[in-house]
Amino acid sequence: MSTSAATELDAVNTILAAVGETPINSLDTQTGVDVSMARSTLSEVTRRVCGMGWYWNTRKAVEYPPDASTSLIILPKSVIRVDGGSNTHYTLRGQRLFDLKDGVSSFDDPVKLEIIELLPWEEIPHAAQDYISLSAARIYADRSVTSTTLSRALREDEERAMIALKQEEAETADVSVYDTETIRIIDRGSPLHEWIVGR
């Protein structure tokens, strides 16, 4: 199954096409149950994939000052994961920064964080759009129909799209897959690390 999901409408139509449903012309005027489920699945997968952390949605050393009156650090709604580096253990509670190590959400000084953002669809690279669309199509099909053959075909498309996405990640990060020192310093939970050590 091929896909070119440059817009959210394209992605939704990819999902609908996976189970033989009629494509739609607009997300604004066509809001049936199938369309609603397709959009919900797309949103679910987009958030999951963005949450993995990629070169295109990870920003390092972003400084956030505490609020002068509350001492809280409230991060933008687009931020879905945070990391403060070694010797820190930060997390998000809602959009409020919380220090798990000290058990507090109030801060006296600015905090530098590595943040992972949930990007709008149009700001996600094409390789990631393709993977998200195909993954969402496979999940939607699994929930809607019971066809082992269809599920297998969609999963194969999904796996090929993930390979392409991880290859782009490696190329953009300028990482040699044979550089063991580089592999060592890459975050173990990152998609790039998983792709490299799995080769």
As a whole number of Å, the end-to-end CA separation of the chain is: 25
CB atoms within 10 A of CB 161: 21
CA distances, 132 to each of 36, 37, 177, 194 (Å): 17, 15, 24, 18
- What CA–CA distance (Å, rounded) separates 148 from 133? 20
Confidence of residue 196 (pLDDT cuts 50, 70, 90): very low
Least confident of 47-61, 74-88, 156-170, 173-187: 173-187
Q: Which of 36-50, 61-75, 147-161 has the lowest mean pLDDT?
A: 147-161
Please state the pTM of the whole predicted model. 0.81
Which amino acid appears at position 127 of this protein? A
| pLDDT bracket for residue 152 (50, 70, 90) | confident
Q: Residue 43 corresponds to which tokens in the numbers above?
A: 């949103």
Q: What are phi and psi for residue 110, nearest 5 degrees?
A: -60, 150
**Confidence tier at 5 by pLDDT (50, 70, 90):** low
CA distances 163 to 23, 111, 131, 185, 194, Å, are 27, 35, 9, 21, 11
Burial 31-57 (b: 16+ CB within 10 A, else e): eeebbeebbebbeebbeebbebbbbbb
Q: Say if CB 113 and CB 83 are below 8 A apart.
A: yes
Assign 174 a pLDDT band (cuts: 50, 70, 90).
Answer: low
Mean pLDDT of the chain: 86
**Lowest model confidence (mean pLDDT) among 31-35, 77-81, 180-184:** 180-184
- Given the structure tokens 């949930």, which residue do they identify? 118
Q: Is 159 helix (H, G, I), strand (E, B) or coil?
A: helix
